[in-house]
Amino acid sequence: MKKLILIACIALVAAGCYNDKGDKLYPAPASVTCDTTVVTFAKDIQPILTASCNISGCHNTAGAPSSGGYDFTSYSAVHTVAVSPDNMLLGDINWESGHSPMPKGLPKLPQCDIDKITRWVNLGALNN
What is the rounded average pLDDT of the residues 108-112?
97
Question: Is 34 domain-assigned?
Answer: no
Domain encompassing residue 110: 41-122
- pLDDT in the model for residue 60: 78
Per-chain mean pLDDT for the chain: 82
9-46 b/e with 16+ CB inside 10 Å = b?
eeeeeeeeeeeeeeeeeeeeeeeeeeebeebebeebbb
- pLDDT in the model for residue 11: 62
What is the rounded average pLDDT of the residues 98-111?
93
Into how many domains does the chain fold? 1
Question: Is 100 domain-assigned?
Answer: yes
Q: What is the per-residue pLDDT across 72-96, written as a single tens digit (0 to 9) for each?
A: 888 988 998 899 889 999 999 999 9
Cβ proximity of 118 and 90 under 8 Å: yes
User: Who contacts 111 (Cβ-Cβ below 8 Å, separation ≥6)?
Assistant: 34
* Distance, CA of 78 to chain centre: 20
